[in-house]
């Protein structure tokens, strides 16, 4: 247990200390360490503790972020309008998730569940979503996720195409056409997915993504992709959190496998047109 309960604002240092203590005291005895944050925690500082603290990353690595959603109350929190520059924690917790569990489904109607699922997938088109009662899901769904593991990206980029067509033209203040509710919400956080054939020039991709995180790093929460690059029989995989970006050759394309590029960006005020244009600019 970390002092004060609130991981987000006070205890990133404490988290480092606790992880190092655990790692040293019980080295080799852990399969997993599960950190339960408060409902108000911001995910980014916790995630970045694993990505940026060199000492921590010698002992432990981040497997994934699981977001447990209370189906009965989530919509209300996702739609809460915050003062300017104040983040909606519920939206952020969905946006950073590698796995999402929609719990307490027995307390909502199918229609409510449908709109909640739609809203969640609009924010995060990447994370698989499981419906649950009393939090009951398979252990495999929450442990051994490999959300930050480049070797696992090929099985991890679950691009939800059903939402590609519906989640563009939204403004931070505006309203999502096609949504059935009639209130304002923080729609500035969303996903843009690109699924496309074509071979890419890796140097161009490097330049594009570097430029992107330089200009938009603050607003880019997560990104992942599998790319088909010229002159290589292997997939090229990448993943990033804000300004941290990792990429490397992945597994070989199968002999009969269609080489499809799949990219997912999750962030605030994403410019879908610019992202698509950037992608096209990298085609060989």
Ligand X SMILES: Nc1nc2c(ncn2[C@@H]2O[C@H](COP(=O)(O)OP(=O)(O)OP(=O)(O)O)[C@@H](O)[C@H]2O)c(=O)[nH]1
> What are the residues binding ligand X (CB under 6 A)?
70, 103-104, 106-107, 133-135
Comparing CB distances to ligand X, the nearer of 39 and 178 is: 39
Q: Compute the least distance from the CB of residue 107 to ligand X, in Å.
A: 5
Integer Cα distance of 29 and 251 in angstroms? 31
Least Å distance between CB 135 and ligand X?
6
Q: Residue 23 belongs to what H/E stretch?
A: helix 12-25
**Identity of the residue, 26 or 73, whose beta carbon is nearer to ligand X in the bound complex:** 73
Report, in Å, the least distance between residue 62 CB and ligand X.
21
Q: How far is the CB of 103 from ligand X (least distance, A)?
A: 5
Nearer to ligand X, 93 or 239 (CB): 93
Give how far Cα 282 sits from Cα of 147, 154, 236, Å. Answer: 26, 20, 14
C-alpha span between 65 and 46 (Å, rounded)? 10
CB of 136 to ligand X, least distance (A): 8
Nearer to ligand X, 86 or 107 (CB): 107
Q: Rounded to an integer, what distance in angstroms lies between the CA atom of residue 195 and that of residue 162?
A: 12
Report the largest interatomic distance among the alpha carbons of the chain, rounded to a whole angstrom: 54
In this structure, the chain runs to a length of 284
Nearer to ligand X, 85 or 134 (CB): 134
Handedness of CA 110, 104, 141, 44 (dihedral sign): positive
Classified as helix, coil or strand, 178 is coil
> Hey, what are 251's tokens?
């597994």
Nearby residues of 235 by Cβ (< 8 Å), 6 or more positions away: 154, 226, 227, 228, 249, 250, 251, 252, 253
**CB nearer ligand X, residue 82 or residue 133:** 133
Output the smallest distance, CB 8 to ligand X, in A: 15
**Backbone φ and ψ of 14, nearest 5°:** -65, -40
């Amino acid at each position: 247990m970390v002092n004060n309960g609130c991981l987000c604002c006070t205890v990133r240092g404490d988290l480092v200390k606790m992880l190092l203590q655990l790692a040293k005291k019980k080295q080799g005895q852990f399969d997993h360490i599960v950190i339960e944050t408060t409902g108000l925690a911001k995910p980014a500082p916790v995630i970045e503790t694993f990505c940026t603290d060199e000492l921590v990353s010698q002992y432990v690595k981040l497997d994934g972020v699981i977001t447990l959603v209370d189906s009965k109350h989530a919509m209300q929190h996702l739609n809460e309008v915050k003062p300017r520059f104040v983040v909606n924690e519920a939206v952020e917790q969905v946006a950073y998730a590698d796995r999402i569990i929609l719990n307490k489904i027995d307390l909502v109607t199918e229609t409510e569940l449908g709109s909640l699922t739609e809203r969640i997938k609009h924010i995060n088109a990447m994370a698989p979503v499981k419906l649950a009662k009393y939090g009951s899901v398979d252990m495999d769904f929450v442990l051994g996720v490999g959300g930050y593991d480049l070797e696992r990206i090929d099985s991890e980029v679950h691009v939800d195409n059903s939402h590609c067509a519906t989640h563009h033209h939204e403004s931070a203040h505006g309203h999502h056409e096609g949504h059935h509710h009639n209130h304002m919400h923080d729609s500035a956080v969303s996903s843009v997915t690109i699924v496309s054939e074509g071979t890419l020039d890796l140097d161009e991709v490097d330049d594009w993504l570097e430029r992107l995180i330089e200009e938009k790093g603050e607003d880019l929460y997560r990104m992942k992709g599998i790319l088909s690059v010229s002159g290589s029989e292997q997939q090229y995989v990448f993943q990033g959190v804000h300004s941290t970006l990792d990429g490397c050759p992945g597994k070989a394309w199968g002999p009969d496998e269609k080489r499809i590029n799949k990219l997912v960006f999750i962030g605030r005020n994403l410019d879908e047109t610019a992202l698509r244009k950037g992608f096209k600019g990298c085609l060989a």
